[in-house]
């Protein structure tokens, strides 16, 4: 079936953040099987911070990610497994191991101004026969000309798709439109969009992206993802069907895997809370949420203050240690025992 839009489901990767990286093999098998039967073509499976992310810095995985990739691949008859790789966290050998476990797509993610660090990883992905994607994270933190410049680098390295990635859920629909339209005008490869719902705009931003030319869009079941989660996969399936787009995704089956499987193991409902709202407002990386809540509790300070300060500092993924430094300083300034 020719698809007008490709929905990439990231429940088993972005959802790892919300699950504190504690997915079990059985949960992965159930979700992968359900997504496969619903018609999803690509589903992503790794630690929330990508291959090699299981660590003290980012949080240890309950189950080795290669085992989870292999389990998901075994459950799929037509769907393909995607993996995320952040240069500096994951290494080339991790990607080679992921291919042996069954991966068919790699999405190489960098900060929006640092695409140049991904050249060898993009080239390796192509050499391994993978569908290879460039992921420009925290896309709100750079002007449009810089986003285009960095996207062109990804394309020159061999990326077949380049994503505008709203890692903080900070972009407004017109800002998504501007970025996606600019990439569409300046690149020959396909364009994707990955949203977060911290300002309750993930679906609106996804609509702005496809209206501007994006053909790959990410979603997670029941919005299970970092911060307030991602654009909701089952909602996208319904909306796109109403609009007449062909996605290959069947509405009832995708609803069933969301409500009968994922909802049962979610640690909490994915909703726009005070903290996740501040993340979107301040432009803070969505995966900082749980770390910030833990630091606020430890130092007896307001987590919103921590997030606002991190936004002012323009903290990015990989700087999780700043969360605790900021919380400690707030505690000292308020004379809270530390």
| 54 among annotated binding-site residues | no
**Paired tokens of 275:** 């903290």
Distance from CA of residue 28 to its chain's centroid? Answer: 17
Q: Which of 249, 230, 241, 252 is nearest to 78 (CA)?
A: 249
Total residue length of the chain: 338
Q: Which of 17, 21, 111, 140 is catalytic?
A: 17
From residue 188, give the alpha-carbon distance in Å to each of 161, 194, 213, 293: 9, 19, 12, 42
Distance from CA of residue 297 to its chain's centroid? Answer: 26
Q: Sort 255 into a burial class: Cβ within 10 Å, 0-12 / 13-18 / 19+.
A: middle
DSSP state string for 296-333: HHHHT--HHHHHHHHHHHT--TT-THHHHHHHHHHHHH
| 194 among annotated binding-site residues | yes
| 285 among annotated binding-site residues | yes
Decide if 48 contacts 21 (C-beta within 8 A).
yes
Contacts of 300 (CB under 8 A, 6+ apart): 331, 336
User: What is the C-alpha separation between 44 and 91, in angstroms, rounded?
Assistant: 18
Please say if 17 is a catalytic residue.
yes
Q: How much of the chain is in helix, strand and coil states, percent to nearest 5?
A: 50, 15, 35
| 14 among annotated binding-site residues | yes
**Paired tokens of 169:** 């859920």
Binding residues: 13-14, 167, 194, 196, 285
Which residues are marked as active site?
17
Binding residues for substrate: 13-14, 167, 194, 285
Binding residues for Mn(2+): 14, 194, 196
């Amino acid at each position: 079936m020719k698809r007008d839009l490709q929905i990439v489901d990231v429940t088993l990767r972005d959802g790892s953040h919300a699950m504190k990286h504690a997915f079990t093999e059985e949960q992965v098998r159930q979700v992968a099987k359900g997504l496969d039967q619903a018609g999803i073509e690509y589903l992503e499976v790794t630690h929330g911070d990508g291959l090699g992310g299981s660590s003290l810095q980012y949080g240890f995985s309950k189950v080795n990610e290669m085992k989870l990739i292999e389990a998901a691949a075994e459950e799929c008859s037509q769907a393909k497994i995607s993996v995320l790789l952040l240069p500096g966290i994951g290494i080339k050998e991790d990607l080679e191991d992921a291919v042996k476990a069954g991966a068919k797509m790699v999405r190489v993610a960098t900060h929006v101004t640092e695409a140049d660090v991904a050249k060898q990883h993009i080239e390796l992905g192509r050499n391994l026969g993978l569908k290879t994607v460039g992921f420009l994270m925290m896309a709100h933190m750079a002007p449009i000309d810089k986003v285009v410049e960095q996207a062109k680098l990804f394309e020159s390295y061999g990326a077949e798709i380049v994503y505008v990635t709203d890692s903080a859920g900070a972009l407004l629909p017109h800002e998504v439109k501007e970025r996606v339209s600019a990439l569409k005008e300046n690149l020959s490869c396909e364009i994707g969009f990955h949203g977060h719902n911290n300002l309750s705009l993930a679906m609106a931003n996804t609509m702005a992206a496809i209206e501007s030319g994006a053909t790959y869009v990410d979603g997670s079941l029941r919005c299970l993802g970092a911060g307030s989660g991602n654009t909701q996969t089952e909602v996208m399936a319904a909306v796109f069907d109403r609009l007449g787009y062909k996605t290959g995704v069947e509405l009832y089956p995708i609803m069933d895997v969301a409500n009968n499987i994922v909802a049962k193991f979610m640690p909490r409902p994915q909703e726009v809370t005070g903290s996740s709202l501040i993340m979107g407002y301040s432009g803070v990386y969505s995966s900082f949420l749980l770390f910030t809540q833990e630091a606020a509790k430890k130092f007896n300070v307001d987590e919103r203050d921590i997030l606002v300060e991190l936004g002012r500092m323009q903290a990015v993924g990989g700087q999780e240690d700043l969360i605790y430094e900021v919380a400690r300083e707030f505690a000292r300034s308020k004379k809270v025992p530390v």
